[in-house]
Amino acid sequence: MDNNKKTKITKVRKNSEGEITDVMTDNGNIYSIDQAIMMAKDNAIQGVNVGKSRNGREFLRSNPNDSENDNLDNLPTF
């Protein structure tokens, strides 16, 4: 998918443990983290990829670059 058509995560919602539970994209849509992981697998969100923790659970992470400002944990909350 062309980067111009991909959406980008701009804000996140976290639970009381600080885990990201939902994301908001640049078009204002809100997705659960599970939906966002599926979208990332379909290459529909720019700047992120899907990782796998030691226990096998999948998670969303920012693509590596020289900036920490766009890391998901550092995005504004909603």
DSSP of 21-46, one letter per residue?
Answer: EEEEETTS-EEEHHHHHHHHHTT-EE
pLDDT, tens digit, 9 for 90 and up, residues 22-38: 999 999 999 999 999 99
Please state whether 2 falls in left (phi above 0), alpha (psi between -120 and 50) or beta. beta
pLDDT class for 67, splitting at 50, 70, 90?
confident
Dihedral over alpha carbons 52, 76, 64, 36 (to 10 degrees): 40
pLDDT, tens digit, 9 for 90 and up, residues 3-61: 668 999 999 999 999 999 999 999 999 999 999 999 999 999 999 999 999 999 999 99
Q: Give every CB contact of residue 69 below 8 A, 6+ residues apart in sequence.
A: none
pTM of the predicted structure, to 2 decimals = 0.88
